[in-house]
Amino acid sequence: MFLVRYSGTGVVVGLFLLSKWGFVRVAALALVIQLPPNILLQRGFASLPTDFFVKSKKREATDAQQRQVDRLVAEIAARAGVEAPAVWLTGSISRIAAGIFERMLIINPSFYYSLSKQARRGVIAHEIAHQYDQASRERLVTDLGIFVPSGIADAAIVLDLLGRVQLDGAALSACIVFVIIGKLALAKLSRINERQADLLATDILGEKKPMLAVCEEVSRRYPDPLWLPRARLLRTHPSWQKRRLAVEKHKLRRHPRRLWPLANAIVALIPWVTLIAAGSLLAGAAPWR
């Protein structure tokens, strides 16, 4: 679900092209156009073979290294109860030490092989934990609940500055507050997700040593910035000290944890409900000029 993140851009462009429609109907149109491709893309990605995601990628590792990492990823994915992602060992994406995107796990080999074996297991388990959480459609709720309204509020501010929409002081203030709250909420959710992935990784592995090794070894390579206390509200990751303490205090739980099917089904309906609501607005809403 990544196209919905551009809802604000869609509203800005749409209102310039369809100025007579008004703000509300253009915003609804942006959702109607963006939601169906998102749903189809999400289902399409799920049906593709794993090799598809790395077929054209240039590896920066030997065949032996690739097989070794593939085996470890497959082992931990099996323990987590999820499908093993495709593994791409590359240093070409300089800002990424390790990360999982859709069904592809990207690992920087220079980072990975600088760690102990325990820490390597912890890094992979942490990323597999993110994949396990994505199965609960948490990201979909984040996109629709925060990215979309925050993006539309951003668009309203831009359009007001350009004179295409005229907001009174209260409406403009509300949009600014909503954008700020959206950014803070996204940062907070990201920190929660990172801490949750640390704890879930310990449950997947059945021990704490790998994640404690990650906290100790990676913190030396990527230390917390000195300005962390003043910018902590916008940080996407907790401090290493907090992550280590959370792992130390965590009580190991049996894994895999079963997601509640009814809750998952309800969340799956959210995009369709949003689409129907947007379509109703598009058909009958009074324009907001």
Distance between CA 122 and CA 208 in Å, rounded? 9
| Residue 279, phi then psi, degrees to nearest 5 | -65, -40
Predicted structure pTM score: 0.82
**Degrees to nearest 5, angle at CA 243 with 201 and 73:** 25
Instruction: Of 16, 21, 63, 9, give the one whose Cα is nearest residue 283.
Output: 21
Q: Could you tell me which residue, 210 or 227, shows the higher pLDDT? A: 210
> Which tokens sit at 86?
């495709």
Where does the pLDDT of residue 152 fall: very low under 50, low under 70, confident under 90, or very high at 90 and above?
confident
Res. 285: pLDDT tops 60: no
What is the rounded average pLDDT for all residues in the chain?
A: 84
Contact (CB, 8 A) for 146 and 155 = no
Residue spans of the domains in the chain: they are: 3-47+115-284, 50-114
Most distant pair of Cα atoms in the chain: their distance: 64
Burial 257-272 (b: 16+ CB within 10 A, else e): eeeeeeeeeebeeebe
Lowest mean pLDDT: which of 28-42, 153-167, 176-190? 28-42
> Which tokens sit at 3?
């196209």
Distance between CA 57 and CA 26 in Å, rounded? 39
Res. 239: pLDDT tops 60: yes
Check residue 22 and give its pLDDT: 82
User: How big is the chain, counted in residues?
Assistant: 289
* Mean per-residue pLDDT, 174-180: 90
